Amino acid sequence: MSSLACSLALLLASSLGGVGAAHRMEMTVQDDALLLHQPPAAVVRTARRLASLGADRVRITAGWSALAPAPRSVKPPAFDATKPDQYQAGPFRSLDNAVKAATGAGLKVQIDLGFWAPRWAVARGVRRSSRQRWRPDAVRFGQFAEAVARRYEGNFADPTSKKGKPLPAVRLWTTWNEPNHPTFLLPQSERTRSGRWRDVAPHVYRAMHEAAYGALKRVDGQNQVLLGGLSSRGASQAGPTRNIPPLRFLRDMACVDERLQPLNDPACRDYHPLQADGFAYHPYSFEAAPDVAYGGADTVHLVDLDRLSSLLGQLHDAGRITTKLALYLTEYGYESKPPDTGRGVPPETQARYLSLGSFLAWRNPDTRMFAQFLLQDIADPKSYQTGLLYPDGRDKPALQAFKLPFWAEAHDSNGQDFVLVWGQVRPGSGPQKVALEVQQADGTWHAVPSVPGAPGHADGRGCPPEDQQFLTDENGFYLRLLPYRGVLAYRARWTRPDGGTEYALPITVGVPE
């Protein structure tokens, strides 16, 4: 079986886009409720818990309207908007606590320069709402970006430190959040004098991004700035409050039409290529499985990430983006029901979808980051329930799927049926000891030999002999092959560095298609 499986491994590795053992995919977690709105000691505990679960980074929102002075005033206050010490001390202190706790736990930090705007920084107010977002002023947004970047450039004195110790440096930034969603930016589209709809949000956001990008790079050239942060939602019709589908939004932002020809729009008259260090995206599928493709031609989910990668590559080749942008999937998750009372999937399904989602994200060679939105469900059952823990702190099945994402599926190649197994050990660092197990008819589990599913997985010399226990790559990933023996359940066994044992949630493999 070894030589045949080894040959198939090369074929499958090719079909997976050439992803090999060295493919790095960082894991980020966002939970502003726990990191920004809890006492400092609780924030420290959350950060340490995330690190122990295998997170690499936390994503935190720097809310413009939360930090700015006089956010409800129509008239701009008199202050230097580029200086962090002229913003509200209390909200900035909460952000400081989150950055310090994460850094102290060994986590990297990503800051979203996000929603919403102060009233004095928008073209017009949104009535009966503190969520101001109608054409935010790009220049003022750039000044806000500069202020936050200055605070976390690595030399700004911590206001709570008696010895003047500086706040930690932050080097990864995103400009705004889901600008193609009306909750975060208005108007999405507007009618022209001829009565036709014209997309507006992509051009407003482009100006905001350019202002923030320039400010962040001026503060420190090491700052990495992500473009986009787009939602996967897209409406079929245009309107001020209708989501613009992500690929259309991206083309509009790059000032090209569906044929990638220059867009005839007044906002594109002085267009110059977009600058960024990566493209942020939120590939939510909501209640559909991660491997289900749905929506229109301009909608992208995990299963068809290659379409987003392809468009980014085409825009770069056409000179509309200065560099070929990798993908940073900075927000993702599934709501579970319970505890949600109106939407979501069963908790066991949530766990399975998170594992499959991890595999689909990793499968795209352009993916540099994957995400989990929320560590703990929000207590309101009608709010977001995408966490790994229930509102009372109890573990969901998804918690183990986060630590040890695991996926197995059948493949048919040249009449030979095999099971491809993928997984990752997220806690710890460096190669980890893993074995694969199959469940017998009597319910007992037994280790099974496997071969690598990617060339050079073990030592760079191709396929080594079959083994039962093997080492993951340096990032905890593994891709292996097993002979197909009918409908069976598989799982991974992880031998922790302390000698203990943990198991990935099992996956049942059906008849190969």
Helices and strands, number each (H, E), in the chain? 11, 20
For strands 416-424 and 406-413, give the pairing: antiparallel
Residues with Cβ < 8 Å from 7, sequence gap 6 or more? none
User: What per-residue confidence (pLDDT) applies to 345?
Assistant: 97
Q: Are 258 and 205 in contact (CB under 8 A)?
A: no
- Provide the sign of the torsion angle of the four alpha carbons 280, 30, 369, 7, taken in this order: negative
Q: Are 372 and 332 in contact (CB under 8 A)?
A: yes
Question: What does each of the 513 residues of the chain score in pLDDT, given as a tens digit?
Answer: 445 455 555 545 555 544 444 578 999 999 999 999 999 999 999 999 999 999 999 999 999 999 999 999 999 999 999 999 999 999 999 999 999 999 999 999 999 999 999 999 999 999 878 899 999 999 999 999 999 999 999 999 999 999 889 999 999 999 999 999 999 999 999 999 999 999 999 999 999 999 999 999 999 999 999 999 999 999 989 999 999 999 999 999 999 999 999 999 999 999 999 999 999 999 999 999 999 999 999 999 999 999 999 999 999 999 999 999 999 999 999 999 999 988 999 999 999 999 999 999 999 999 999 999 999 999 987 789 999 999 999 999 999 999 999 999 999 877 788 999 999 999 999 999 999 999 999 999 999 999 998 544 433 334 555 679 999 999 999 999 999 999 999 999 999 999 999 999 999 998 544
| Domains assigned to the chain | 2-10+406-509 (2.60.40), 19-402 (3.20.20.80)
- Cβ neighbours, 10 Å, residue 334: 26
Tell me the C-alpha distance between 113 and 177, whole Å: 8
DSSP code at position 363: H
Residues with Cβ < 8 Å from 33, sequence gap 6 or more? 374, 376, 378
Instruction: Compute, in degrees rounded to 10, the torsion defined by CA atoms 316, 199, 180, 318.
Output: 0
- Single-letter code of the amino acid located at 61: T
Q: Are 234 and 296 in contact (CB under 8 A)?
A: yes
Please give the backbone phi and psi of residue 34, each rounded to the nearest 5 degrees, phi first: -85, -30
Tell me the C-alpha distance between 378 and 60, whole Å: 17
Whether the bond between 431 and the residue before it is cis, its omega within 30 degrees of 0, is no
Closest CA to 186 of 141, 267, 131, 227: 131
Residues with Cβ < 8 Å from 192, sequence gap 6 or more? 198
User: What per-residue confidence (pLDDT) applies to 1?
Assistant: 40
Q: Are 68 and 88 in contact (CB under 8 A)?
A: yes
Tell me the C-alpha distance between 342 and 339, whole Å: 9
Residue carrying the six token digits 């092959």: 481
User: What per-residue confidence (pLDDT) applies to 511?
Assistant: 55
Q: Are 175 and 145 in contact (CB under 8 A)?
A: yes
Estimate to the nearest angstrom the gap between the alpha carbon of 164 and the chain centroid: 34
Report, in angstroms and rounded to the nearest whole number, the Rg of the chain calculated over CA atoms. Answer: 24
Q: Are 411 and 423 in contact (CB under 8 A)?
A: no
Estimate to the nearest angstrom the gap between the alpha carbon of 425 and the chain centroid: 18
- Cβ neighbours, 10 Å, residue 220: 16
User: What per-residue confidence (pLDDT) applies to 404?
Assistant: 98
The two structure tokens encoding residue 470: 């093997």
Does the pTM exceed 0.85?
yes
Residues making up the chain, counted from first to last: 513
Q: Are 87 and 145 in contact (CB under 8 A)?
A: no
Strand boundaries in 165-312, DSSP class E: 172-175, 189-191, 197-199, 224-231, 278-282
Q: Are 352 and 408 in contact (CB under 8 A)?
A: no
Please give the backbone phi and psi of residue 288, each rounded to the nearest 5 degrees, phi first: -80, 150
Question: Would you give the end-to-end CA distance of the chain in angstroms?
Answer: 21
Tell me the C-alpha distance between 109 and 119, whole Å: 28
